[in-house]
Amino acid sequence: MLVKGDTVGIICCSDGRKKEDENRIALLEQVLKTEFSLQVVFAETIFQKAESPFSGTPQARAIELMKLYQRSDVQMIFDISGGDAANQVLPYLDFDIIRNAQKPFVGYSDLTVILNAIYTKTEQMGYNYQLLHLVGKDSELQQSHFRKTFFENRVLISGEQLNEFVWRGGEVIGGNIRCFLKLAGTNFMPDFTNKIILLESLGGKEAKLASYVAQLEQLGAFSKCLGVIVGQHSEAEENGEYERIGRLYQQIGRKYKLPIFRTSEIGHSVDAKPCLIGAKVNVSRETLTNF
């Protein structure tokens, strides 16, 4: 966990940030320093290069990430990117360095691929979270989330259970469902056995989400896991499909006798909370906690 005076690293391993994000990122650095007394180190791969959507080549992004892992003064690494390109860096990561460094990686959306690859290769945990929420519309609320999670080591997420099956504690894998499925067929995909699978999405209406769920089923995920955490499915919910998405997961729960926990506190919204990846959580009918 972080304490005052610690140093955090910031990088973009997926699509680079645009030039118009410069002021927002400068404000983020200011908030980290003034509100949390943290020092900040930026990787060289933050902003898009020239006409490219990338902050650097896949190799360059991986090298910058490895530099942050190798710095003894950096206690935690936050990736503030998202988009599509995170899986490009996977072949260039040194998982021995990551394993020995024992520092959490934090990111969301497309960074699902790196979070799960790190867990698969090193058993190191991380967090599903976007640090830029600290300077978003709900900045005051997010600062409270940040302090509770990263300084006090308390994860408390509210929701509701969608069926009557009983939960067992287990380690969380997954994240963004589209990006998680990029790992299918690779040696970076976690073993589903006795895991709790977190699934959320930004884009995708019912048909697309049903296809993602079907692919996970065909991979054997639901016959091996302990249960499913259903986060926000933003586009579908905005399209009036909240109940239909709930039924989609309820069908999986019935078929495989899995508990299904649904929460609006994990996902892409500006008030979303951090959630552990690669660490044990306890799920009840109304809460998900790490204590």
List the catalytic residue out of 200, 237, 241, 265: 200
Tell me whether residue 200 is one of the annotated catalytic residues: yes
Burial of 198: CB neighbours in 10 Å, binned 0-12, 13-18, 19+: buried
Q: Cα–Cα distance between 244 and 241 in angstroms, integer?
A: 5
Q: Which of 50, 68, 183 shows the shortest CA–CA distance to 115?
A: 183
Look at the alpha carbons of 61, 63, 64, 69 in this order and tell me if their dihedral is positive or negative.
positive
Q: Which of 126, 25, 31, 40 shows the shortest CA–CA distance to 81?
A: 25
Strands 287-289 and 156-158: antiparallel
Q: Cα–Cα distance between 232 and 249 in angstroms, integer?
A: 13
- How does DSSP assign 234-289, residue by residue? HHHHHTT-HHHHHHHHHHHHHHHT--EEE-SSSSSSTTPPPEEESSEEEE-SSEEE
List the catalytic residue out of 14, 55, 81, 109: 109
List the catalytic residue out of 133, 145, 233, 268: 268
* Count of beta carbons in the 10 Å neighbourhood of residue 230: 28
* E strand or H helix at 199: strand 195-201
Q: Cα–Cα distance between 249 and 65 in angstroms, integer?
A: 36
Catalytic sites, residue numbers? 109, 200, 268
